A and B are shown apart, each in its own frame.
Chain A
Protein backbone atom coordinates (compact mmCIF):
# COMPACT_ATOMS: atom_id res chain seq x y z
CA UNK A 1 0.00 0.00 0.00
CA UNK A 2 1.86 3.04 -1.22
CA UNK A 3 1.54 6.75 -1.88
CA UNK A 4 4.28 7.76 -4.31
CA UNK A 5 5.27 10.40 -6.86
CA UNK A 6 6.81 8.00 -9.33
CA UNK A 7 4.85 5.99 -11.85
CA UNK A 8 4.02 2.37 -11.12
CA UNK A 9 4.23 -0.73 -13.26
CA UNK A 10 0.79 -2.28 -13.76
CA UNK A 11 2.40 -5.63 -14.46
CA UNK A 12 4.46 -5.57 -11.29
CA UNK A 13 1.43 -4.74 -9.11
CA UNK A 14 -0.60 -7.55 -10.68
CA UNK A 15 2.28 -10.01 -10.23
CA UNK A 16 2.51 -8.93 -6.60
CA UNK A 17 -1.08 -9.89 -5.78
CA UNK A 18 -1.03 -13.15 -7.76
CA UNK A 19 -0.93 -16.26 -5.62
CA UNK A 20 -1.29 -19.97 -6.25
CA UNK A 21 -4.32 -19.99 -3.91
CA UNK A 22 -6.05 -17.31 -6.02
CA UNK A 23 -7.89 -18.18 -9.21
CA UNK A 24 -8.79 -14.57 -9.95
CA UNK A 25 -7.03 -11.19 -10.04
CA UNK A 26 -9.15 -8.08 -10.66
CA UNK A 27 -7.72 -4.59 -10.99
CA UNK A 28 -8.88 -1.00 -11.42
CA UNK A 29 -6.62 1.69 -12.86
CA UNK A 30 -7.57 5.35 -12.58
CA UNK A 31 -6.05 7.85 -15.01
CA UNK A 32 -6.24 11.60 -15.65
CA UNK A 33 -9.05 12.01 -18.16
CA UNK A 34 -8.78 14.52 -21.01
CA UNK A 35 -11.23 17.38 -20.49
CA UNK A 36 -11.48 20.79 -22.10
CA UNK A 37 -8.95 23.18 -20.60
CA UNK A 38 -7.39 20.57 -18.30
CA UNK A 39 -3.62 20.12 -18.52
CA UNK A 40 -2.90 18.20 -15.36
CA UNK A 41 -4.10 17.45 -11.85
CA UNK A 42 -2.08 18.15 -8.71
CA UNK A 43 -2.54 15.43 -6.11
CA UNK A 44 -1.67 16.11 -2.49
CA UNK A 45 -1.69 13.56 0.34
CA UNK A 46 -1.39 13.49 4.12
CA UNK A 47 1.19 10.75 3.62
CA UNK A 48 1.36 9.20 7.08
CA UNK A 49 -2.42 9.04 7.57
CA UNK A 50 -3.01 7.95 3.97
CA UNK A 51 -0.64 4.99 4.39
CA UNK A 52 -2.23 4.03 7.66
CA UNK A 53 -5.76 4.22 6.16
CA UNK A 54 -4.68 2.17 3.15
CA UNK A 55 -3.33 -0.55 5.45
CA UNK A 56 -6.61 -0.55 7.42
CA UNK A 57 -8.62 -0.81 4.18
CA UNK A 58 -6.44 -3.65 2.90
CA UNK A 59 -7.02 -5.62 6.11
CA UNK A 60 -10.78 -4.93 5.98
CA UNK A 61 -11.03 -5.95 2.32
CA UNK A 62 -9.12 -9.19 2.87
CA UNK A 63 -11.41 -10.11 5.78
CA UNK A 64 -14.71 -8.93 4.23
CA UNK A 65 -14.22 -10.59 0.83
CA UNK A 66 -11.91 -13.46 1.89
CA UNK A 67 -9.21 -12.23 -0.46
CA UNK A 68 -5.83 -13.78 -0.98
CA UNK A 69 -4.24 -10.34 -1.28
CA UNK A 70 -4.96 -6.70 -2.10
CA UNK A 71 -2.74 -3.80 -3.16
CA UNK A 72 -3.37 -0.08 -3.70
CA UNK A 73 -0.79 2.31 -5.16
CA UNK A 74 -1.84 5.98 -5.37
CA UNK A 75 0.35 8.65 -6.93
CA UNK A 76 0.79 12.24 -5.80
CA UNK A 77 2.27 15.37 -7.34
CA UNK A 78 1.45 16.80 -10.78
CA UNK A 79 -0.04 14.21 -13.16
CA UNK A 80 -0.68 15.08 -16.78
CA UNK A 81 -3.64 14.02 -18.94
CA UNK A 82 -3.38 10.31 -19.67
CA UNK A 83 -1.08 9.51 -16.73
CA UNK A 84 -1.89 6.76 -14.25
CA UNK A 85 -3.18 7.94 -10.86
CA UNK A 86 -4.16 4.85 -8.90
CA UNK A 87 -4.23 1.08 -9.14
CA UNK A 88 -6.29 -1.25 -6.98
CA UNK A 89 -5.66 -4.97 -7.41
CA UNK A 90 -7.36 -7.82 -5.56
CA UNK A 91 -6.79 -11.55 -5.75
CA UNK A 92 -9.24 -14.16 -4.50
CA UNK A 93 -9.98 -17.85 -4.97
CA UNK A 94 -12.94 -16.94 -7.22
CA UNK A 95 -13.69 -13.97 -9.51
CA UNK A 96 -16.93 -12.79 -7.86
CA UNK A 97 -15.19 -11.82 -4.62
CA UNK A 98 -12.28 -10.25 -6.50
CA UNK A 99 -14.62 -8.04 -8.59
CA UNK A 100 -16.69 -6.98 -5.57
CA UNK A 101 -13.61 -6.28 -3.46
CA UNK A 102 -11.93 -4.18 -6.14
CA UNK A 103 -14.96 -1.91 -6.48
CA UNK A 104 -15.43 -1.66 -2.70
CA UNK A 105 -11.75 -0.89 -2.09
CA UNK A 106 -11.62 1.89 -4.70
CA UNK A 107 -14.82 3.46 -3.30
CA UNK A 108 -13.38 3.39 0.24
CA UNK A 109 -10.09 4.91 -0.95
CA UNK A 110 -12.08 7.88 -2.28
CA UNK A 111 -13.92 8.22 1.05
CA UNK A 112 -11.31 7.74 3.77
CA UNK A 113 -7.78 8.10 2.39
CA UNK A 114 -6.68 11.75 2.78
CA UNK A 115 -5.74 12.66 -0.77
CA UNK A 116 -6.94 15.78 -2.62
CA UNK A 117 -6.75 16.94 -6.18
CA UNK A 118 -6.68 20.32 -7.91
CA UNK A 119 -7.06 20.85 -11.61
CA UNK A 120 -4.27 22.72 -13.38
Chain B
Protein backbone atom coordinates (compact mmCIF):
# COMPACT_ATOMS: atom_id res chain seq x y z
CA UNK B 1 0.00 0.00 0.00
CA UNK B 2 1.08 3.55 -0.70
CA UNK B 3 2.25 5.81 2.14
CA UNK B 4 2.98 9.53 1.71
CA UNK B 5 6.18 10.53 3.49
CA UNK B 6 7.04 14.01 4.74
CA UNK B 7 10.64 14.61 5.80
CA UNK B 8 11.82 17.53 7.89
CA UNK B 9 15.14 19.08 8.86
CA UNK B 10 17.99 16.54 8.99
CA UNK B 11 15.73 13.75 7.65
CA UNK B 12 15.13 15.79 4.47
CA UNK B 13 18.89 16.40 4.21
CA UNK B 14 19.76 12.71 4.51
CA UNK B 15 17.04 11.40 2.19
CA UNK B 16 17.47 14.31 -0.23
CA UNK B 17 13.76 14.98 -0.60
CA UNK B 18 11.03 16.64 1.47
CA UNK B 19 8.22 14.43 0.18
CA UNK B 20 8.01 10.99 -1.34
CA UNK B 21 5.71 8.00 -1.58
CA UNK B 22 6.76 4.58 -0.42
CA UNK B 23 5.13 1.17 -0.79
CA UNK B 24 4.79 -1.05 2.27
CA UNK B 25 3.05 -4.39 2.79
CA UNK B 26 -0.59 -4.34 3.88
CA UNK B 27 -0.75 -4.37 7.69
CA UNK B 28 2.70 -2.77 8.05
CA UNK B 29 3.44 -0.70 11.13
CA UNK B 30 5.28 2.56 11.42
CA UNK B 31 8.25 0.57 12.74
CA UNK B 32 8.22 -1.58 9.57
CA UNK B 33 8.22 1.55 7.44
CA UNK B 34 11.15 3.01 9.37
CA UNK B 35 13.09 -0.27 8.95
CA UNK B 36 12.53 -0.04 5.20
CA UNK B 37 13.82 3.54 5.23
CA UNK B 38 16.91 2.50 7.22
CA UNK B 39 17.59 -0.12 4.56
CA UNK B 40 17.30 2.45 1.77
CA UNK B 41 19.04 5.31 3.57
CA UNK B 42 21.69 3.96 5.99
CA UNK B 43 22.51 7.54 7.00
CA UNK B 44 19.32 7.49 9.09
CA UNK B 45 20.77 4.83 11.39
CA UNK B 46 22.49 7.32 13.69
CA UNK B 47 19.15 9.11 14.24
CA UNK B 48 17.14 6.00 15.04
CA UNK B 49 17.01 6.72 18.77
CA UNK B 50 15.80 10.30 18.47
CA UNK B 51 13.34 10.26 15.57
CA UNK B 52 9.90 11.74 16.19
CA UNK B 53 7.18 10.11 14.10
CA UNK B 54 3.71 11.33 13.17
CA UNK B 55 0.84 9.75 11.27
CA UNK B 56 -1.78 12.01 9.74
CA UNK B 57 -0.45 14.98 11.71
CA UNK B 58 -0.50 13.37 15.12
CA UNK B 59 2.39 11.86 17.07
CA UNK B 60 2.62 8.09 16.75
CA UNK B 61 4.86 5.25 17.91
CA UNK B 62 6.42 2.40 15.99
CA UNK B 63 3.54 0.02 16.82
CA UNK B 64 1.03 2.18 14.93
CA UNK B 65 -0.60 0.29 12.03
CA UNK B 66 -0.56 2.12 8.74
CA UNK B 67 -3.37 2.45 6.22
CA UNK B 68 -3.33 3.15 2.50
CA UNK B 69 -2.58 6.82 1.77
CA UNK B 70 -1.54 7.71 5.34
CA UNK B 71 0.73 10.74 5.73
CA UNK B 72 3.80 9.79 7.76
CA UNK B 73 6.28 12.42 8.95
CA UNK B 74 9.84 11.97 10.21
CA UNK B 75 11.20 14.82 12.27
CA UNK B 76 13.88 15.58 14.84
CA UNK B 77 13.01 16.46 18.44
CA UNK B 78 10.85 19.57 18.51
CA UNK B 79 12.45 22.88 19.42
CA UNK B 80 10.72 26.07 18.41
CA UNK B 81 10.54 29.31 20.37
- A residues touching B (Cβ–Cβ < 8 Å)? 30, 43-46, 48-49, 52, 74, 85-86, 106, 109-118
Contacts and interface: CB of A to CB of B under 8 A. Distances in A.
Interface stretch (B23-31, B35-43, B70-78): B70-78
A49 B79 contact: no
B9 interface: yes
Contact of B81 (A48, A106, A114): A106
Contacts of B54: 46, 49, 114
B78 A110 contact: yes
A29 B70 CA distance: 36
Nearest to B75: A114
A80 B44 CA distance: 30
Interface residues of B, number: 15
B73 A43 contact: no
A110 B78 CA distance: 7
Contacts, number: 55
A117 B80 contact: yes
Given A44-B9, A113-B80, A115-B79, 4 more contacts: A45-B80, A113-B78, A115-B78, A116-B8
Contacts of A43: 80
B81 A110 contact: yes
A46 B80 contact: no
A110 B79 contact: yes
* Nearest 10 Cβ contacts at the A-B interface: A115-B80, A49-B57, A110-B81, A116-B9, A30-B81, A52-B57, A86-B81, A114-B78, A114-B75, A48-B57
21 contacts: A30-B81, A44-B8, A44-B9, A45-B80, A46-B73, A86-B80, A106-B81, A109-B80, A110-B78, A110-B79, A110-B80, A110-B81, A112-B59, A112-B78, A113-B80, A114-B52, A115-B78, A115-B81, A116-B75, A116-B76, A117-B79
